[in-house]
Amino acid sequence: MTMQGKVAIVTGGGSGIGAECARTLARRGAKVAVADLDGNAAGVVAGEIGGLALAVDVSDPAQCQAMVDRVIGELGDLHMAVNNAGIGGSHLPVEEYDVDDWRRVLSINLDGVFYCMKAELKHMVGQGRGAIVNMASIFAVAGQRALPAYVASKHGVLGLTRAAALDSAPKGVRVNAVGPGVILTPLVESHQDTAGKAALAAGNPSKRLGLPAEVAELVVWLCSDAASFCNGGFYPVDGGFTAA
Ligand SMILES: NC(=O)c1ccc[n+]([C@@H]2O[C@H](COP(=O)([O-])OP(=O)(O)OC[C@H]3O[C@@H](n4cnc5c(N)ncnc54)[C@H](O)[C@@H]3O)[C@@H](O)[C@H]2O)c1
Protein backbone atom coordinates (compact mmCIF):
# COMPACT_ATOMS: atom_id res chain seq x y z
CA MET A 1 0.00 0.00 0.00
CA THR A 2 2.59 2.58 -1.02
CA MET A 3 1.50 6.20 -1.20
CA GLN A 4 4.71 7.47 -2.72
CA GLY A 5 4.08 10.65 -4.72
CA LYS A 6 0.61 11.16 -3.20
CA VAL A 7 -0.41 14.26 -1.25
CA ALA A 8 -2.77 14.22 1.74
CA ILE A 9 -4.38 16.75 4.08
CA VAL A 10 -5.33 15.80 7.63
CA THR A 11 -7.42 18.34 9.55
CA GLY A 12 -7.17 18.23 13.31
CA GLY A 13 -3.80 16.62 12.59
CA GLY A 14 -2.10 18.13 15.61
CA SER A 15 -3.51 15.67 18.14
CA GLY A 16 -5.05 12.27 18.80
CA ILE A 17 -6.55 10.38 15.87
CA GLY A 18 -5.59 13.03 13.29
CA ALA A 19 -1.94 13.03 14.35
CA GLU A 20 -1.84 9.24 14.05
CA CYS A 21 -3.47 9.41 10.59
CA ALA A 22 -0.81 11.92 9.51
CA ARG A 23 2.01 9.70 10.82
CA THR A 24 0.59 6.59 9.15
CA LEU A 25 0.09 8.33 5.80
CA ALA A 26 3.67 9.62 5.98
CA ARG A 27 5.03 6.15 6.83
CA ARG A 28 3.34 4.85 3.64
CA GLY A 29 5.19 7.51 1.65
CA ALA A 30 2.61 10.31 1.28
CA LYS A 31 3.46 13.99 1.56
CA VAL A 32 1.18 15.20 4.36
CA ALA A 33 -0.23 18.62 5.22
CA VAL A 34 -1.06 18.72 8.92
CA ALA A 35 -3.82 21.31 9.45
CA ASP A 36 -4.99 22.31 12.89
CA LEU A 37 -6.52 25.23 14.77
CA ASP A 38 -3.51 24.84 17.04
CA GLY A 39 -0.70 25.81 14.66
CA ASN A 40 1.99 24.80 17.16
CA ALA A 41 0.58 21.30 17.53
CA ALA A 42 0.39 21.02 13.73
CA GLY A 43 4.02 22.14 13.59
CA VAL A 44 5.16 19.45 16.02
CA VAL A 45 3.48 16.63 14.06
CA ALA A 46 4.56 18.04 10.68
CA GLY A 47 8.13 18.36 11.99
CA GLU A 48 8.09 14.72 13.08
CA ILE A 49 7.00 13.46 9.65
CA GLY A 50 8.56 16.04 7.32
CA GLY A 51 5.13 17.42 6.45
CA LEU A 52 3.63 20.86 5.91
CA ALA A 53 2.07 22.54 8.96
CA LEU A 54 -0.96 24.77 8.49
CA ALA A 55 -2.88 26.79 11.09
CA VAL A 56 -6.50 26.43 9.97
CA ASP A 57 -9.89 26.95 11.57
CA VAL A 58 -12.18 24.56 9.69
CA SER A 59 -15.27 26.51 10.77
CA ASP A 60 -14.18 29.30 8.38
CA PRO A 61 -14.89 28.47 4.70
CA ALA A 62 -12.26 30.94 3.43
CA GLN A 63 -9.55 29.25 5.55
CA CYS A 64 -10.57 25.82 4.22
CA GLN A 65 -10.25 27.00 0.62
CA ALA A 66 -6.93 28.70 1.43
CA MET A 67 -5.70 25.45 3.03
CA VAL A 68 -6.41 23.45 -0.13
CA ASP A 69 -4.90 26.15 -2.37
CA ARG A 70 -1.72 26.22 -0.27
CA VAL A 71 -1.35 22.45 -0.25
CA ILE A 72 -1.70 22.30 -4.03
CA GLY A 73 0.67 25.26 -4.40
CA GLU A 74 3.36 23.90 -2.05
CA LEU A 75 2.99 20.12 -2.37
CA GLY A 76 1.92 20.11 -6.01
CA ASP A 77 -1.41 18.24 -5.85
CA LEU A 78 -4.09 16.78 -3.56
CA HIS A 79 -5.01 13.08 -3.72
CA MET A 80 -6.36 12.30 -0.22
CA ALA A 81 -8.08 14.22 2.56
CA VAL A 82 -8.95 13.18 6.10
CA ASN A 83 -11.53 15.61 7.48
CA ASN A 84 -11.02 14.82 11.12
CA ALA A 85 -11.07 18.07 13.14
CA GLY A 86 -13.78 17.95 15.79
CA ILE A 87 -14.76 18.82 19.33
CA GLY A 88 -16.97 17.19 21.95
CA GLY A 89 -18.96 20.14 23.28
CA SER A 90 -20.89 20.32 26.55
CA HIS A 91 -22.36 17.29 28.28
CA LEU A 92 -25.95 18.45 28.88
CA PRO A 93 -29.46 17.47 27.76
CA VAL A 94 -31.16 19.53 25.05
CA GLU A 95 -33.21 21.69 27.41
CA GLU A 96 -30.04 22.83 29.20
CA TYR A 97 -27.81 23.08 26.13
CA ASP A 98 -26.42 26.53 25.42
CA VAL A 99 -27.30 27.84 21.94
CA ASP A 100 -23.80 29.21 21.35
CA ASP A 101 -22.26 25.83 22.31
CA TRP A 102 -24.64 24.10 19.90
CA ARG A 103 -23.56 26.42 17.08
CA ARG A 104 -19.85 26.00 17.93
CA VAL A 105 -20.03 22.18 17.81
CA LEU A 106 -22.04 22.15 14.56
CA SER A 107 -19.81 24.82 12.97
CA ILE A 108 -16.65 22.76 13.54
CA ASN A 109 -17.88 19.16 13.35
CA LEU A 110 -20.37 19.48 10.48
CA ASP A 111 -19.95 22.85 8.71
CA GLY A 112 -16.18 22.31 8.85
CA VAL A 113 -16.43 18.98 7.01
CA PHE A 114 -18.64 20.62 4.37
CA TYR A 115 -16.25 23.57 3.88
CA CYS A 116 -13.22 21.27 3.62
CA MET A 117 -14.95 18.87 1.22
CA LYS A 118 -16.20 21.75 -0.95
CA ALA A 119 -12.62 22.94 -1.50
CA GLU A 120 -11.11 19.44 -1.75
CA LEU A 121 -13.73 18.13 -4.18
CA LYS A 122 -13.37 21.11 -6.50
CA HIS A 123 -9.79 19.99 -7.14
CA MET A 124 -10.34 16.21 -6.99
CA VAL A 125 -13.35 16.22 -9.33
CA GLY A 126 -11.33 18.38 -11.74
CA GLN A 127 -8.59 15.73 -11.68
CA GLY A 128 -11.09 12.86 -11.96
CA ARG A 129 -9.64 11.10 -8.89
CA GLY A 130 -9.26 11.38 -5.15
CA ALA A 131 -10.28 9.89 -1.82
CA ILE A 132 -11.82 11.59 1.19
CA VAL A 133 -12.39 10.10 4.63
CA ASN A 134 -14.63 11.99 7.06
CA MET A 135 -14.31 11.38 10.78
CA ALA A 136 -17.77 10.47 12.05
CA SER A 137 -18.28 8.39 15.22
CA ILE A 138 -20.34 5.52 16.57
CA PHE A 139 -22.66 8.42 17.43
CA ALA A 140 -23.34 8.87 13.71
CA VAL A 141 -25.59 5.80 13.98
CA ALA A 142 -26.56 5.78 17.67
CA GLY A 143 -27.71 8.31 20.23
CA GLN A 144 -25.97 9.15 23.47
CA ARG A 145 -27.27 10.78 26.62
CA ALA A 146 -26.30 14.42 27.28
CA LEU A 147 -24.47 14.88 23.98
CA PRO A 148 -27.06 16.36 21.57
CA ALA A 149 -24.85 18.64 19.50
CA TYR A 150 -22.09 16.08 19.04
CA VAL A 151 -24.53 13.29 18.12
CA ALA A 152 -26.42 15.56 15.69
CA SER A 153 -23.16 16.75 14.11
CA LYS A 154 -21.87 13.19 13.57
CA HIS A 155 -25.21 12.00 12.12
CA GLY A 156 -24.85 15.00 9.80
CA VAL A 157 -21.31 14.02 8.81
CA LEU A 158 -22.55 10.58 7.76
CA GLY A 159 -25.45 12.03 5.75
CA LEU A 160 -23.14 14.53 4.08
CA THR A 161 -20.66 11.74 3.29
CA ARG A 162 -23.35 9.65 1.61
CA ALA A 163 -24.71 12.60 -0.38
CA ALA A 164 -21.23 13.65 -1.53
CA ALA A 165 -20.28 10.07 -2.45
CA LEU A 166 -23.27 9.72 -4.78
CA ASP A 167 -22.30 12.90 -6.63
CA SER A 168 -18.58 12.10 -6.65
CA ALA A 169 -18.57 8.39 -7.55
CA PRO A 170 -19.23 8.94 -11.28
CA LYS A 171 -16.45 11.55 -11.25
CA GLY A 172 -13.81 9.15 -9.92
CA VAL A 173 -13.72 10.40 -6.33
CA ARG A 174 -14.45 8.26 -3.27
CA VAL A 175 -15.95 9.68 -0.04
CA ASN A 176 -16.28 7.47 3.04
CA ALA A 177 -16.86 7.91 6.77
CA VAL A 178 -15.37 6.06 9.71
CA GLY A 179 -17.03 5.59 13.07
CA PRO A 180 -14.60 5.26 15.95
CA GLY A 181 -15.82 4.05 19.32
CA VAL A 182 -14.23 5.59 22.39
CA ILE A 183 -10.55 6.09 21.55
CA LEU A 184 -7.91 7.12 24.05
CA THR A 185 -7.01 10.64 22.88
CA PRO A 186 -6.72 14.05 24.58
CA LEU A 187 -10.40 14.66 23.69
CA VAL A 188 -11.50 11.67 25.79
CA GLU A 189 -8.87 12.22 28.51
CA SER A 190 -10.20 15.76 29.01
CA HIS A 191 -13.76 14.53 29.61
CA GLN A 192 -13.20 11.29 31.55
CA ASP A 193 -11.42 10.44 34.79
CA THR A 194 -9.99 6.96 35.46
CA ALA A 195 -13.33 5.62 36.74
CA GLY A 196 -15.15 7.07 33.70
CA LYS A 197 -12.72 5.40 31.29
CA ALA A 198 -13.01 2.10 33.15
CA ALA A 199 -16.81 2.28 32.89
CA LEU A 200 -16.61 3.00 29.15
CA ALA A 201 -14.21 0.09 28.66
CA ALA A 202 -16.50 -2.23 30.64
CA GLY A 203 -19.40 -1.28 28.33
CA ASN A 204 -17.47 -2.26 25.20
CA PRO A 205 -17.69 -5.87 23.93
CA SER A 206 -13.87 -5.91 23.71
CA LYS A 207 -13.62 -4.64 27.31
CA ARG A 208 -11.22 -1.87 26.43
CA LEU A 209 -10.97 1.50 24.71
CA GLY A 210 -9.45 1.91 21.27
CA LEU A 211 -6.12 3.42 20.28
CA PRO A 212 -5.58 6.17 17.68
CA ALA A 213 -3.42 3.83 15.59
CA GLU A 214 -6.31 1.37 15.29
CA VAL A 215 -8.43 4.12 13.68
CA ALA A 216 -5.57 5.40 11.51
CA GLU A 217 -5.02 1.99 9.89
CA LEU A 218 -8.64 1.95 8.67
CA VAL A 219 -8.57 5.58 7.56
CA VAL A 220 -5.36 5.14 5.58
CA TRP A 221 -6.63 1.94 3.98
CA LEU A 222 -9.80 3.77 2.87
CA CYS A 223 -7.60 6.52 1.40
CA SER A 224 -5.56 3.97 -0.53
CA ASP A 225 -6.13 2.40 -3.94
CA ALA A 226 -6.72 -0.90 -2.09
CA ALA A 227 -10.17 0.52 -1.24
CA SER A 228 -10.94 1.35 -4.89
CA PHE A 229 -14.56 0.08 -4.81
CA CYS A 230 -15.42 1.52 -1.37
CA ASN A 231 -17.57 4.60 -1.74
CA GLY A 232 -20.23 6.20 0.46
CA GLY A 233 -19.62 3.69 3.22
CA PHE A 234 -19.67 3.91 6.99
CA TYR A 235 -16.94 1.89 8.67
CA PRO A 236 -17.12 1.43 12.44
CA VAL A 237 -13.89 0.86 14.34
CA ASP A 238 -15.30 0.32 17.80
CA GLY A 239 -14.39 -3.07 19.28
CA GLY A 240 -17.87 -4.35 18.44
CA PHE A 241 -19.87 -1.57 20.13
CA THR A 242 -22.32 -0.99 17.26
CA ALA A 243 -22.84 -4.73 16.76
CA ALA A 244 -24.87 -4.89 19.98
N1 LIG B 1 -11.53 10.09 20.71
C2 LIG B 1 -12.67 9.48 20.50
O3 LIG B 1 -13.14 8.66 21.32
C4 LIG B 1 -13.44 9.72 19.22
C5 LIG B 1 -14.48 8.83 18.90
C6 LIG B 1 -15.21 9.04 17.74
C7 LIG B 1 -14.90 10.09 16.91
N8 LIG B 1 -13.90 10.93 17.25
C9 LIG B 1 -13.64 12.04 16.34
O10 LIG B 1 -12.30 12.00 15.92
C11 LIG B 1 -11.86 13.32 15.64
C12 LIG B 1 -10.55 13.57 16.36
O13 LIG B 1 -10.77 13.42 17.74
P14 LIG B 1 -9.60 13.18 18.79
O15 LIG B 1 -10.16 12.32 19.83
O16 LIG B 1 -8.35 12.83 18.10
O17 LIG B 1 -9.54 14.66 19.41
P18 LIG B 1 -8.31 15.60 19.84
O19 LIG B 1 -8.92 16.64 20.71
O20 LIG B 1 -7.17 14.80 20.36
O21 LIG B 1 -7.87 16.24 18.44
C22 LIG B 1 -8.71 17.09 17.73
C23 LIG B 1 -7.86 18.13 17.01
O24 LIG B 1 -8.76 18.97 16.27
C25 LIG B 1 -8.30 20.30 16.40
N26 LIG B 1 -9.40 21.25 16.17
C27 LIG B 1 -10.40 21.57 17.01
N28 LIG B 1 -11.16 22.54 16.47
C29 LIG B 1 -10.62 22.82 15.25
C30 LIG B 1 -10.94 23.74 14.24
N31 LIG B 1 -11.98 24.59 14.36
N32 LIG B 1 -10.19 23.76 13.12
C33 LIG B 1 -9.12 22.93 12.99
N34 LIG B 1 -8.75 22.05 13.94
C35 LIG B 1 -9.50 22.00 15.06
C36 LIG B 1 -7.77 20.40 17.80
O37 LIG B 1 -6.88 21.51 17.95
C38 LIG B 1 -7.08 19.06 17.97
O39 LIG B 1 -5.73 19.11 17.60
C40 LIG B 1 -12.99 14.25 16.04
O41 LIG B 1 -13.78 14.58 14.90
C42 LIG B 1 -13.81 13.41 16.99
O43 LIG B 1 -15.16 13.79 17.05
C44 LIG B 1 -13.15 10.78 18.37
Q: Per-residue pLDDT tens for 34-87? A: 999 999 999 999 999 999 999 999 999 999 999 999 999 999 999 999 999 999
Across 87-91, average pLDDT: 96
User: Would you say residue 242 lies in a domain?
Assistant: no
The number of the ligand 1 atom at minimal distance from the alpha carbon of 38 is: 37
Predicted pLDDT of residue 184? 97
Residue 185 Cβ inside 6 Å of ligand 1? The answer reads yes
191, containing H or E segment: helix 186-191
Across 114-122, average pLDDT: 99
User: Would you say residue 144 lies in a domain?
Assistant: yes
Contacts of 151 (CB under 8 A, 6+ apart): 139, 143, 144
User: Would you say residue 138 lies in a domain?
Assistant: yes
Predicted pLDDT of residue 57? 99
Q: How many domains does the chain have?
A: 1
The number of the ligand 1 atom at minimal distance from the alpha carbon of 210 is: 3
Q: Which CATH number fits the domain that encloses residue 155? A: 3.40.50.720
| pLDDT of 196 over the 90 cut | yes
- Ligand 1 centroid distance, CA of 205 (Å): 24
Residue 132 Cβ inside 6 Å of ligand 1? The answer reads no
Q: Report yes or no: 68 and 39 within 8 Å, Cβ to Cβ.
A: no
Q: What is the pLDDT of residues 146-193, one digit of tens each?
A: 999 999 999 999 999 999 999 999 999 999 999 999 999 999 998 899
User: Would you say residue 83 lies in a domain?
Assistant: yes
Residue 147 Cβ inside 6 Å of ligand 1? The answer reads no
User: Would you say residue 212 lies in a domain?
Assistant: yes
* Catalytic positions, written as ranges: 150
> How much is the mean pLDDT over the chain?
98
As a whole number of angstroms, the distance between CA 148 and CA 146 comes to: 6
User: Would you say residue 111 lies in a domain?
Assistant: yes
Q: What is the pLDDT of residues 16-34, one digit of tens each?
A: 999 999 999 999 999 999 9
- Structural domain for 200, as ranges: 7-236
Q: Report yes or no: 130 and 80 within 8 Å, Cβ to Cβ.
A: yes
Residue 153 Cβ inside 6 Å of ligand 1? The answer reads no
User: Would you say residue 1 lies in a domain?
Assistant: no
| pLDDT of 1 over the 80 cut | no
- Ligand 1 centroid distance, CA of 36 (Å): 10
User: Would you say residue 241 lies in a domain?
Assistant: no
